[in-house]
Amino acid sequence: MNELARQKDVTLLELLDRILDKGVVLTGDVLISIADVDLIYLGLNLILTSVEKMHEYQGWEP
């Protein structure tokens, strides 16, 4: 696979910042669209915080 296409170094933040927040929003014919992104960010905020905590706890393990 092409090097460029596999940008593993692209952070999740950069991805979410665009793919979830930007791009064309189609309505009408669409079966599902994720309209309320702020809600997702809110959820993410909590998730990221808890992931961070989890890592902290793991850091204490021998």
Partner 1 sequence: MPDFVKVPLEEEFAWYLYGIVLCGENDRDIDTDLTGISAEPGVRIIVSGSLGAVVSRVPLSQFGAAVLEEKLQDLRWLEEKVRLHQELLQQIMQERTIVPMKFGTIFQSQERVRDILEKQQEHFQALLKFLTGHEEWGVKGYYRREELHEYLSSGECSSKLGQGGTGLGKAYLLRKKLEEELESRAVDYSRQIGEEAYGWLRVHSVRSTLNKFLSRNVTGREEELFFNGAFLVAKGSHGAFRHTVEKLNGEFGAQGIFLEVSGPWPPYSFVGE
Residue 59 sits in the site that holds partner 1 (CB under 8 A):
no
Instruction: Tell the smallest beta-carbon distance from residue 2 to partner 1 (Å).
Output: 7
Nearest to 19 by CA among 11, 8, 27: 11
What does the alpha-carbon distance between residue 47 and residue 42 come to, in Å, rounded to a whole number? Answer: 9
Residue 22 sits in the site that holds partner 1 (CB under 8 A):
yes
Instruction: Tell the smallest beta-carbon distance from residue 11 to partner 1 (Å).
Output: 8
What does the alpha-carbon distance between residue 55 and residue 58 come to, in Å, rounded to a whole number? Answer: 5
Binding site for partner 1 (CB under 8 A): 2, 4-7, 10, 12-26, 29-34, 40-41, 43-45, 47-49, 51-52
